[in-house]
């Protein structure tokens, strides 16, 4: 990638009337690079590198995200598979899961804290269970322990 300073020097050389082939040879770049830089300057007015075009593109569009969000607001207990099937998304379930997480949803159930757990405790007595110890069993079988 060419630095901003090099890009400026390339354009100044072209503005001074030097041929594209000579500029490309002087800066050790291809002619197409110089032509692309000239075209970019004319179209956008900028010589900055197009870093926004890098990386993997998302499979889920903004419209898909909005549809997922609306669906989850209507039916918050849907599974990832059900979301995919309902909206006819042509992506894998992992992609749908990432989209759901991106929207700020969590898919794990909320665990109750001690103050929220208002269930009755065990009401039975401990004496009702018959317990035999290991030593008792050995004596009954005739083996001393």
- List, in sequence order, the alpha helices (H) in the chain: 4-15, 20-26, 31-44, 62-74, 80-87, 93-102, 134-141
* Backbone Cα Rg of the chain: 35
Structure tokens at 85: 């099937």
Q: What pLDDT score was predicted for residue 83?
A: 92
Q: What pLDDT score was predicted for residue 137?
A: 47
Q: What pLDDT score was predicted for residue 111?
A: 63
Torsion of the alpha carbons at 126, 128, 129 and 132, rounded to the nearest 10: 100
Angle, CA of 25, 27 and 28, to the nearest 5°: 60
Q: What pLDDT score was predicted for residue 113?
A: 63
Beta-strand (E) ranges in 1-138? Answer: none
Global pTM exceeds 0.85: no
Judge whether 66 and 74 are in contact, CB under 8 Å: no
Q: What pLDDT score was predicted for residue 139?
A: 47
Given the candidates 3.40.50.2000, 2.60.40.420, 3.90.850.10, 1.10.10.10, the CATH classification of the domain at 4-53 is 1.10.10.10
From first to last of its 145 residues, the chain has per-residue pLDDT tens of 788 898 889 899 989 999 999 999 998 999 999 999 999 989 888 888 777 767 787 888 899 999 999 999 998 888 899 999 999 999 999 999 999 999 988 766 556 666 656 666 655 555 555 555 454 444 445 554 4
Q: What pLDDT score was predicted for residue 74?
A: 92
């Amino acid at each position: 990638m060419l630095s901003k300073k090099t890009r400026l020097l390339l354009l100044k050389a072209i503005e001074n009337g030097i041929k594209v082939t000579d500029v490309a040879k002087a800066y050790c770049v291809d002619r197409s690079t110089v032509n692309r830089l000239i075209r970019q300057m004319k179209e956008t007015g900028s010589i900055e590198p197009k870093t926004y075009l890098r990386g993997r593109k998302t499979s889920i569009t903004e419209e898909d995200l909005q549809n997922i969000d609306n669906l989850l607001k209507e039916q918050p207990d849907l599974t990832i598979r059900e979301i995919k099937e309902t909206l006819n998304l042509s992506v894998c379930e992992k992609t749908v899961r990432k989209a759901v997480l991106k929207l700020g949803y969590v898919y794990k159930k909320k665990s109750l804290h001690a103050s929220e757990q208002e269930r009755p405790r065990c009401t039975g007595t401990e004496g009702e269970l018959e317990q035999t110890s290991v030593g008792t069993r050995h004596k009954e079988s005739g083996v001393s322990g």
